[in-house]
Amino acid sequence: MPPVYFIHLSDTHFGPTEAYSRQGHRSLPYARHVIDMINRLPLRPDFVMHTGDVTTHPTPEAYALAAETFAALEVPIYYATGNHDRSADIHRYMKMGPKTDCQEDTNTLSYTFEVRGWRFLVLDARGPDVIDPRGLLSPQQLDVLRREATPDGPPLTIFTHYPATRLNAPWMDANMLIYNGEEMHQALLPARGRLRGVFFGHIHNSTQILRDGIFYCAVASTFAGFSMWPNEEMIKADHDAMPAFNFVQLLPEQTIVQQRPFARLAGEPVRRPAAGNSENLED
């Protein structure tokens, strides 16, 4: 089976204008810079996967700016719904590569696609606003997962926005996980022999977890980081974290994730809060 290469990026947080900033950084210049880097890679990836939070506030202006920006990519791109997104808006505004929708409802963004015999599943874990920023897989989405996560079949890779399993970071574990993530994990177990990874965003932090033989992998945000140390009781901006995307290699015998951090852009100084002041991180 030939290898598949893809780019994993997440949490671009487009605003309604080019001047929009979050955590002291303008998100748009970083998105443009990432796209330029992807287009200049020495090896052309098969696709780009964006695991959600395309925007911060799901307005037509923000999605129009995102769609215009990602149109510069020279390879297909796919999206998962983040807690700051709306599935119907991604369906409406964001062009994607060939796919097969798992549910006809445009309020759900769940689909499969295949590349040279490798199978990919995107799950929509965006729940009602009242549980935000936590996620929730609907009964229908769990049914989709169980149908896909069987012992037999082609190599399978899964994408969603939210982490399904604990991160050993108190605030993150209390506020950012999929509510029924344990049910998701149990549904994945029958497929672990063919499962190549579960890739997610949301936590703005490059993190890998291995549990029961299942590899979970989060990518850093393209422009702003969160810290998640085991002794932190409150979410904090990580101003020392570098923005990044991941280059993922799916080989017949192994999965390789290469983190691609990059330096802060000129003219984008780090803004650190004054002592005793907290930041509005707009989760």
pLDDT in tens, 166-175: 999 999 999 9
Q: How far apart are CA 30 and CA 279, in angstroms?
A: 21
Q: Would 277 be classed as within a structural domain?
A: no
CATH number at residue 32: 3.60.21.10
pLDDT in tens, 123-141: 999 999 999 999 999 999 9
- Widest CA span in the chain: 56
Residue 245, beta-bridge partner list: 260
Q: Would 267 be classed as within a structural domain?
A: no
Task: Verify cis geometry, omega within 30 degrees of 0, for the bond prior to 133.
Answer: yes
**Two tokens at 104?**
């006809």
pLDDT of res. 275? 41
Average pLDDT over residues 80-90: 98
Of 208-212, 238-242, 269-273, give the lowest mean pLDDT range.
269-273
**How many distinct structural domains can be found in the chain?**
1
Domain that holds residue 43: 4-261
pLDDT in tens, 183-203: 999 999 999 999 999 999 999
pLDDT in tens, 39-76: 999 999 999 999 999 999 999 999 999 999 999 999 99
Task: Examine the pLDDT at 148 and tell me if it is beyond 60.
Answer: yes
Q: Would 279 be classed as within a structural domain?
A: no
224: three-class secondary structure by DSSP: coil
Neighbours of 179 (CB within 10 A): 15
pLDDT of res. 281? 59
pLDDT of res. 101? 98
At 274, is the pLDDT very low, low, confident or very high (cuts 50, 70, 90)? very low
pLDDT in tens, 24-33: 899 999 999 9
pLDDT of res. 146? 98
Choice between 24 and 165, residue whose per-residue pLDDT is larger: 165
Long-range Cβ pairs for the range 174-180 (8 Å, 24+): 175/133, 175/134, 175/235, 175/283, 176/133, 176/134, 176/202, 176/203, 176/283, 177/134, 177/135, 178/125, 178/134, 178/135, 178/136, 178/137, 179/127, 179/131, 179/134, 179/135, 179/136, 180/136, 180/137, 180/142
Task: Examine the pLDDT at 78 and tell me if it is beyond 90.
Answer: yes
Q: Would 232 be classed as within a structural domain?
A: yes
Q: Would 133 be classed as within a structural domain?
A: yes
Q: Would 283 be classed as within a structural domain?
A: no
Instruction: Answer for the pair 16, 93: CB distance below 8 angstroms, yes or no.
Output: no
Q: Would 123 be classed as within a structural domain?
A: yes
Going by their DSSP bridges, the two strands 226-227 and 214-218 should be labelled as unpaired
Q: Would 276 be classed as within a structural domain?
A: no
Task: Examine the pLDDT at 234 and tell me if it is beyond 70.
Answer: yes
pLDDT of res. 92? 97
Average pLDDT over residues 259-278: 67
At 276, is the pLDDT very low, low, confident or very high (cuts 50, 70, 90)? very low
pLDDT of res. 176? 98
Average pLDDT over residues 251-277: 77
At 272, is the pLDDT very low, low, confident or very high (cuts 50, 70, 90)? low
- Calculate the average pLDDT of the chain: 94
pLDDT of res. 269? 54
